[in-house]
Amino acid sequence: KFVLLELGKIYYKYGYKDMAKKEIMRSIKLFEIIDKQGADILQDTLFNCNS
């Protein structure tokens, strides 16, 4: 269940912010799984204009 969330974190770590956002959103939609780090990544990718 956590694989999409973890994949999103890996994408983010290596600079693939769009892919990170996509996988974390899939994690929420399919499994209703999110954690603080995932929420922080979404906040950065959705609301940070400098990305």
pLDDT at 48: 78
Percentage of the chain modeled with pLDDT above 70: 94
Cα–Cα distance between 27 and 6 in angstroms, integer? Answer: 9
With vertex at residue 7, the alpha carbon angle to CA 18 and CA 16, rounded to the nearest 5 degrees, is: 30
For the whole model, what pTM was predicted? 0.89
pLDDT tens per residue across span 29-51 = 999 999 999 999 999 998 876 64
